[in-house]
Structure 1
Amino acid sequence: MFSVFFRMMFLMSLVLASFRLVESDETVNLSSAIFSHTLQSLIQTDFGAQEKVGRDVDLNELKFYLYTSKNRGEETILNPLNPKELTSSRGKIFFLLHSWIYSKQYSTWYNELTNKLLNRYPEGNVVQVDWGSASYQDFGMTAYSTESIGYHIATIMSNLVLKFHVPTENFILIGHAMGAQICGWAGKYFIEHTKKKIGKIVALDPVGILFKDRPDSKKLNRNDAVGVHVIHTDAENRGFVPSGTIDFYPNGGYDQPGCHDFDVNSPNRLLIDVVFCSQARSYEYFIEAIGNPGSFLSHQCANEAELASRDCNGVEVGLGDLDTIRQGIFYLKTNSKPPYSQLSIY
């Protein structure tokens, strides 16, 4: 695990280097803003972030980009007030939500996961949500804004259900870190609007700072969807306590193999992700698992003590198996570099 001092010093070069990969005036301005907010918020998150009253995000600040098997190379911009492209859908509808200080443009995992999902679910629809304008804030203020973003997504889904009878089980929300908490809010408001639950939430290393001590009504929890799948990869910093119907703890849930090697060759990560390497592993494992069903077999742990000893021998469930009805705590080991799965099925 990186020390606080090391992470702060190394961050200064990594943030700026990450956003020099694309040369444009927008990139220069964006890198400067992100550097300022990142450094400020890294200090807060390591030394004690504080709850702050932020702002409610307007719907027009959110952008929704639809991808299907027919238009993988050409996105369709959805009108959230009239998402006509989804009204007759009977396939899965995935919403992807990036983390704090990111956007669609810099969430490099979006496109690869989109392709893997469409390969596995050819009738599916993948909506990449860009809430970047709200994510470039102080950490505490961004945490406050997650509720209003979740509300807007819930409203889109509930309108599709109530007006066009889209099956509730077709909705699957996939969120990374702060985006996972947005998924929790969306699930809560969907229940409030429809008295029903969406099919699944996949929480990729959900952020725990400023959320872990909240009541369940104000953070992601197992009741926000029929199935809440949580993948913990930086749990010591983000949240170790089980919060889903099924919780996966690769390599014990923190300090992921290979993260000390500064391996930045993965196509899924920017250089800034080296600082948050263990957190980034959550989506890298999930992407690989979706593309190779059954490749990340996990064993159920009887309790947290068994997980801590990494000696779990219960039933097997595949990380990325969105159809499983199993519940509980699951442990698995991974390789230190791609392919991360230790099963030879490629």
Structure 2
Amino acid sequence: MKFIGTIILIISLTVKGTAGMHINRSILGSSASDIVRGLSSQSIREIPAPDQLFSTAIKVLLGFPEQAVFTVLNQACSIYLASGAINPRITPNVEEMYFELRTPCKNISVPIAQPEQLVNLEEFDAEKKVVIFVSGWGSDGKEDSYIQDFANAFFCRGEHNVVYINTGNSVQTLYTWSAFNTEEVGNILAESLKGLTESVPVENIHLVGHSLGAQIVGKAGRQFKDLTGQSLPRITGLDPANPCFNEGEELSGISRGDATFVDIIHSNPGVLGKPKSLGDVDFYPDGKRAIKPGCVRFGCSHERSIRYYIETVYPANEQNFLGKRCNSLQSLNAGHCDGTEHAMGYAVDHDLKGNYYLNVNADQPYGKNAPADAVVQPNQCGLCGRK
């Protein structure tokens, strides 16, 4: 951690362009609070804005291993939270946020602040379940194939209204601002869900979030409970974002209790995704290794959680991923884990508790228990003009 503190100091000085900051040597401590205590009040005031620090960090850390970069950025987030030096923020604008109803033939957007418009759409069926997906940092829903793939899988089931949350710039801005915005975006979503449940039974709503989106849906679940006294039935977190979400700090993130049932799929633990168990049940495909089979970069592994989940949504694929409650993948592979195998993903048993481990394939179908004719992308189902 001394390395991390040193790097952050270098970045700060690089941005400020001054050697006049009053820095106590104790800044090279092992935690963010240690570092902040080592800064004079003048130095705290001169901490560069997150957008300055993080853009400079990428340049200073160019050539370092990805994991080292993300570790430094995570520590920088902690420093900002501990120092209070994060104002003014780039705050979410509710007028730029939309519900996007996805259908096989078209996508229809309505303001998130007006959920009654969503319910009144001819294409929305209030008798069906509603799955609401919130993506992560840098995603706008237009060019990310996994968002449409997510919708296509549900189209094949024919049992759901599929809604994507377009958050405008709130999770597309520089990662730090996006992370700091998750609480407020979650509050906005919760307020809208309160209105939605005037027409849709709360038991029919399922929130799914990836990366920062997972942290948003967690906050939405907590806030919805505060607003209504009711719990959402299920929230699914797909590799919840790790950088900036540390225990005991302001950004607490998704956790058990945010809904009646919270299930988590970890695919890049310890780097872009949280490594610790967070939900009622946590699944660790390929264990806690940061790089998943078939990937060479962290980003690929981070997205794998979505790909695994999508595969389970297609009819007849519900049992593709079977895990056992265990302490590690090594124990599982050594035959030391007793008990019954349980499905990960769409058809997970809502009574499950604990950590479950399983092996996965490098290519589609990713599930080791997938049938030979497993559908992993739409061909004859879920397309415009077809059921």
How far does residue 157 in structure 1 lie from its aligned partner after superposition? 0.9
Work out which of the residue numbers 321, 328, 339 in structure 2 matches 1:296.
321
**Which secondary structure does the structure 1 equivalent of 2:104 belong to?**
coil
Q: Does the 8 Å CA contact 1:38/1:101 hold for their aligned counterparts? A: no
**Which secondary structure does the structure 2 equivalent of 1:295 belong to?**
coil
**Counterpart in the other structure of 1:74:** 106
**Which secondary structure does the structure 1 equivalent of 2:270 belong to?**
helix
**Which secondary structure does the structure 2 equivalent of 1:339 belong to?**
coil
| 1:39-188 paired onto structure 2 within 5 Å | 39=58, 45-49=70-74, 50-51=76-77, 52=80, 53=86, 54-67=89-102, 71-80=103-112, 81-86=114-119, 89-120=126-157, 122-161=158-197, 163-164=198-199, 166-188=200-222
Hey, what's the Cα distance between the residues in 1 that align with 2:356 and 2:183? 29
Q: Does the 8 Å CA contact 1:101/1:132 hold for their aligned counterparts? A: no
CA-to-partner distance for each residue in 1:67-114, whole Å, 9 max, x for gaps? Answer: 2xxx41111212331433437713211111111122111322111111
Q: Does the 8 Å CA contact 1:37/1:137 hold for their aligned counterparts? A: no
**Counterpart in the other structure of 1:335:** 361
**Counterpart in the other structure of 2:331:** 309
**Counterpart in the other structure of 2:28:** none
Match of 1:339, as an amino acid?
P
**Counterpart in the other structure of 1:239:** 274
Hey, what's the Cα distance between the residues in 2 that align with 1:156 and 1:132? 16
Match of 2:307, as an amino acid?
E
How far does residue 324 in structure 1 lie from its aligned partner after superposition? 3.1
Distance verdict in 2 for CA 1:37–1:62, change over 3 Å:
farther
**Which secondary structure does the structure 1 equivalent of 2:153 belong to?**
helix
Higher helix share: 1
Q: Does the 8 Å CA contact 1:250/1:334 hold for their aligned counterparts? A: yes
Distance verdict in 2 for CA 1:216–1:287, change over 3 Å:
farther
How far does residue 37 in structure 1 lie from its aligned partner after superposition? 9.5
TM-score by length of 1: 0.77
Distance verdict in 2 for CA 1:38–1:109, change over 3 Å:
farther
CA-to-partner distance for each residue in 1:257-277, whole Å, 9 max, x for gaps? Answer: 1213xxxxxxxxxxxxx5511
**Counterpart in the other structure of 1:17:** none
Residues 1:207 and 2:241 are matched in the alignment: yes
CA-to-partner distance for each residue in 1:258-303, whole Å, 9 max, x for gaps? Answer: 213xxxxxxxxxxxxx5511111111111111111111111112xx
**Which secondary structure does the structure 2 equivalent of 1:135 belong to?**
coil
Relative to structure 2, which stretch is displaced further, 171-180 or 72-81? Answer: 72-81
Residues 1:226 and 2:260 are matched in the alignment: yes
**Counterpart in the other structure of 1:324:** 350
Indicate the percent of aligned positions where both proteins have the same amino acid.
Answer: 28
TM-score by length of 2: 0.69
Distance verdict in 2 for CA 1:37–1:94, change over 3 Å:
farther
Instruction: Please list every run of 5 or more consecutive structure 1 residues that lacks an aligned counterpart in the other structure.
Output: 1-34, 261-273
Match of 2:166, as an amino acid?
D
Structure whose CA Rg is larger: 2
Q: Does the 8 Å CA contact 1:168/1:199 hold for their aligned counterparts? A: yes
Hey, what's the Cα distance between the residues in 1 that align with 2:69 and 2:151? 33
**Which secondary structure does the structure 1 equivalent of 2:133 belong to?**
strand
Q: Does the 8 Å CA contact 2:91/2:170 hold for their aligned counterparts? A: no
Hey, what's the Cα distance between the residues in 2 that align with 1:172 and 1:38? 37
Report the aligned-residue RMSD. 2.5
Distance verdict in 2 for CA 1:65–1:39, change over 3 Å:
farther
Q: Does the 8 Å CA contact 1:151/1:186 hold for their aligned counterparts? A: yes
Q: Does the 8 Å CA contact 1:245/1:328 hold for their aligned counterparts? A: yes
Distance verdict in 2 for CA 1:62–1:191, change over 3 Å:
same
Distance verdict in 2 for CA 1:308–1:48, change over 3 Å:
farther
Hey, what's the Cα distance between the residues in 1 that align with 2:168 and 2:248? 25
CA-to-partner distance for each residue in 1:283-340, whole Å, 9 max, x for gaps? Answer: 1111111111111111112xx3x45634433222111124532121111101111111
Distance verdict in 2 for CA 1:90–1:214, change over 3 Å:
farther
Instruction: Please list every run of 5 or more consecutive structure 2 residues that lacks an aligned counterpart in the other structure.
Output: 1-53, 81-85, 375-387
